[in-house]
Amino acid sequence: MFACLYAPSRGLAFRSNDGVPRAKLVTNELVRLAREQSPRVEVHGDNLVVLDATGITDRVGNSRELGATLRRVAADRRLYLRIAVAPTRSAALLIVQARSGLTVVEPGQEAAVLASLPLDVLRTLARRQARGVTGQARRRAPVAGAGLAIPAFALLSTVRRWGVRTLGDLAHQSSATLLERLGPGGLALQRFARGEDDPSWTVASADQRVESTLRLETPVEGLDPLSFVLSRLFETLCERLAQTSAGASVVQVQLKLVTGEIHATRVTLATPTRESKALRTLVRLELDLNPPRAGVREVTVVVDPAPTGGRQISLLARARPDAARVTTLMSRLSRLVGERRCGSPALVASGDGAGFAMRAFAPGPPHAEVPERRTGG
């Protein structure tokens, strides 16, 4: 269960008496309010906050009770808020863009509630997030949960030309058609319109972020020496992650160049890991594709932590593939043959019965075990 708190931007462009932007004050107030209910809070830009209440319903009550509590506390603090409580984060984020007051969505009803919303809410949300991320980065303040597939929203204009006007129209499009015409981004867009969360999303609390910066005495030229610097940073970060039994779900590397520019790289992992070697390799592969244009003077690595799943240890079941190795392999293969040319095929409904879509390779636990191999004749 997720609750989204949004303060409409009336008057937020002004500054308070002590010179602090009012938007920042309101965002801090929203974070404070959300943390009173749940420790897992995400800031999605200025005046937009999501709290994850999964697993703590015995404390915060059901969705209606949580919504009523949030509305009452906000009124006590003289905050005019839009509040949406929904089973998924996507649904909460979208509904709060379009509905004023308090909206509570019961489990299983998110697609029906979203169906009537105009397509513009997707664009509005993407712009708000992009603006929020940029603003926060400028102030060097942590931003959590900026993991929405914003590039996919560039496809909205194409979808609009097809005559799609509401989220319901988009949700009812054929997945095979969207994949064929728009690629994986089309499917991501449709999943969002249906109110389904991306399984790779993880809640990253702002105050739990792990960050490390290394200022170099001599600017580093080339990726090989930079890899050594990254190794050192990742080893330190992974030790800190291990203390909290967490792994990295998102890694952001900011390279301050001698020209004064900031070269940013972001890697999202399918499964959280704290293996420094794997993380360094993934970042190195990204930097191979987009190398910095000048010497590097300062390296900053920011890691969004997420709980790591324990390794499956069973005498009877086969061990699952190592997540770090698989992630590294997929990154290398994507670089070799292209991101859309490797993955797992998944059957989708189509007219000729031969439709399939490429999905990310993420093998789960085996469904059933069969007896051991044959011994031969």
Contact between residue 346 and residue 357 where contact means Cβ atoms under 8 Å apart: yes
Nearer to other proteins, 215 or 374 (CB): 374
Question: Which one of 7-15, 193-201, 230-238, 349-357 is the stretch in contact with other proteins (CB under 8 A)?
Answer: 349-357
Residue with tokens 């058609």: 177
CB of 188 to other proteins, least distance (A): 19
In degrees rounded to 5, what are phi and psi of residue 255?
-110, 120
- For other proteins, the binding residue among 11, 151, 307, 363 (CB under 8 A) is 363
* Minimal distance, residue 265 CB to other proteins, in Å: 22
Site for other proteins in 307-336 (CB under 8 A): 317-318, 321-322, 325-326, 328-329, 332-333, 336
Which amino acid is located at 366 in the chain? P
* Token pair belonging to 90: 């996507």
Residue 328 CB, nearest approach to other proteins (Å): 8
What region does 68 belong to: left with phi over 0, alpha with psi -120 to 50, or beta? alpha
Task: List C-alpha distances in Å: 154 to 157, 185, 193, 340, 376.
Answer: 7, 9, 14, 18, 57
Q: How far is the CB of 349 from other proteins (least distance, A)?
A: 12
308: CB partners within 8 A, 6+ apart: 245, 246, 247, 271, 272, 273, 274
Please, what is the minimum distance in Å from the beta carbon of residue 307 to other proteins? Answer: 23
Query: What is the 3 state secondary structure string of 93-116?
Result: HHHHHHCCCEEECCCCCHHHHHHC
User: Which segment (84-92, 101-109, 295-303, 366-374) binds other proteins by CB under 8 A?
Assistant: 366-374
Between 133 and 267, whose beta carbon lies closer to other proteins?
267
| Residue ranges binding other proteins (CB under 8 A) | 317-318, 321-322, 325-326, 328-329, 332-333, 336-337, 341-347, 353-356, 358, 361-364, 366-370, 372-377
